[in-house]
Amino acid sequence: MTDKIKHRWSIGNNYLAGITAGDWWKLLRDNRFAVDPTYWHRAAVISIMSVFNSLQHRREKRRWHDAIERTKISESPLFILGHWRSGTTHLHNLIAQDTKQFAYANTYQVVSPHTFLTTENFNAKVFAGLIPDKRPMDNMALGFTTPQEDEFGPALLTGKSLYFGMSFPRHSQNYDQYLTFHDAPRADVEEWKVGLLWFLKKLTLKYNQRLVLKSPPHTARIRILLELFPDAKFIHIHRNPYDVYQSFCHFHDTAVWYTYLQRPDLKAIPDQILHRYTELYDAFFDDLPLLPAGHFHEIRYEDLERDPVAQLRDAYTALGLADFESFQPQLEKYVTSLSTYRKNSFNKLSDVDRERVAQHWRRSFNKWDYAI
């Protein structure tokens, strides 16, 4: 990683674009208004947008509140779990092709959770240019209509997410508790659950279909998700830890630069990555025994990359998901469309970094049979 300030003048591709004025003021106050001068212009744009978001939120609340309140989620969601850069997006995109059975949260909806029922049809077209057509960390397709991780929705609805630590890296420790919620007050857990449920009810009202959801932090929250959806089913994807580490370092050196409101301590990021992975999988393995047979399936990223159709067929069978045969032609068509995609390639990890990763993440190497 370098000390150069990347994307300094960018005002797009930022999840805070959908925050309301009151929540934005609270977020600033919680962080002592410590926006670095380097990013004052970014904060100014967020401030302006927050006012419009608040106005649209009032409009949406008047029009849709009662309908959302009455909405029932008749089928528990299918949750895709896995650490960042483990292939969760690829798996999400594959299952999202099953449009007869599943709906998903898209990019516009997760960054506009207060207003998307009212504003999406217009704003997703007018402001499409604010986000790139490819993700900055891996060149996968990106747009307002593409599947996106749902973490941002409840984050903006409740203020409870470790992702706010990306914007305020000097205060990231204030948000770390929201990865697992183990150390968070129970009131915060309940508030987050209400926010997630409200967001999913809005999606259900819009689509009236079962939801397939992807959010890496959910990997550490199986216990909480089961409190909301006792019958939920989960697919976990894992990847060679060395590749995860390199790819996550690259993520911090590309995509996260669009969200900063404070200059980051780049030297601290590798240790943060090592610690967060361990914390996430400590919670995951603690909660895994709570899942009964037929409600959990695990996929190896390398196998999904080699034969996605066969891997999804196995997942549908293991989880009792219906109609794979009718879904298969659309899946194969989508897989064919990816034939020209090339994933990132990185230089070989140094011996020092390899040893550190092996030391901190040894359980994953052993559990999933990756060579150290």
Please give, one letter per residue, the 3-state secondary structure of 162-191.
CCHHHHCHHHHHHCHHHCCCCCCCHHHHHH
d(CA 175, CA 2): 25
**pLDDT of the residue at 2:** 44
How many whole angstroms separate alpha carbon 272 and alpha carbon 252?
11
- Residue 138 pLDDT greater than 70, yes or no: no
Give residue 292's Cα distance to chain centre.
25
pTM for this prediction:
0.95
Question: What pLDDT is attached to residue 130?
Answer: 66
Q: Which residues pair with 134 in a beta bridge?
A: 141
Evaluate whether 344 touches 138 at the Cβ level (below 8 Å): yes
- For residue 103, count other CB atoms closer than 10 A to its CB: 20
Pairing verdict, β 78-81 and 296-300: unpaired
Q: Are the C-beta atoms of 195 and 158 separated by less than 8 Å?
A: yes
pLDDT value at residue 224: 98
Among 127-131, 197-201, 260-264, 335-339, the minimum mean pLDDT is found in 127-131
Q: Tell me which of 348 and 30 has the higher pLDDT.
A: 30
Output the average pLDDT for the chain: 94
User: How many degrees, rounded to 5, is the angle at CA 139 between CA 134 and CA 142?
Assistant: 30
Lowest mean pLDDT among 5-9, 134-138, 192-196: 134-138
With CA atoms as reference, report the closest residue to 140 among 43, 45, 247, 61.
247
User: Distance between CA atoms of 242 and 361, rounded to whole angstroms?
Assistant: 9
Give the rounded percent of residues in the chain with a pLDDT score beyond 70: 96
What gap in Å lies between CA 79 and CA 232, rounded to an integer?
A: 7
Q: Residue 321: what pLDDT?
A: 97
List alpha helices for 5-113, DSSP H: 21-30, 40-70, 88-95, 107-111
Query: Architecture of domain 15-367 in CATH?
Result: 3-Layer(aba) Sandwich (3.40)
- Given this model, what pLDDT does residue 139 score? 67
Condensed to tens digits (0 to 9), the pLDDT of residues 284-301 reads: 999 999 999 999 999 999
Contact 232, 7 (CB under 8 A): no
Helix (H) or strand (E) holding 157: helix 152-158
Helix (H) or strand (E) holding 344: none
- Give the confidence band of 13 by pLDDT, cuts at 50, 70, 90: confident
Q: How far is C-alpha 359 from the geometric centre of its chain's CA atoms?
A: 27
pLDDT band at 126 (very low <50, low <70, confident <90, very high): confident
With 0-12 / 13-18 / 19 or more C-beta atoms within 10 angstroms meaning exposed / middle / buried, residue 37 is: exposed
Grouping H, G, I as helix, E, B as strand and the rest as coil, residue 19 is coil
What are the tokens at 1? 């990683």
Cα(166)–Cα(42) distance, rounded to whole angstroms? 14
Q: Are 280 and 219 in contact (CB under 8 A)?
A: yes
| pLDDT value, residue 101 | 96
Query: pLDDT value at position 137?
Result: 58
Lookup: tokens for 292: 């009964």
Residue 83 CA to residue 149 CA, distance in Å, equals 12
Q: To which H or E segment does residue 299 belong?
A: strand 296-300
Mind listing the pLDDT tens digit for each residue in 211-226?
A: 999 999 999 999 999 9
CB atoms within 10 A of CB 324: 17
pLDDT at residue 178 above 80? yes
Of residues 66, 163, 58, 72, the one with CA closest to residue 115: 58
> Average pLDDT of 144-153?
96
% of residues, the chain, pLDDT over 90: 88
Asked if the model's pLDDT at residue 118 lies above 50, the reply is: yes
Q: How far is CA 133 from CA 29, 91, 119, 255, in A?
A: 34, 19, 21, 13
Give me the pLDDT at residue 61, please: 97
- pLDDT of 1 higher than 50: no
Per-domain boundaries in the chain: 15-367
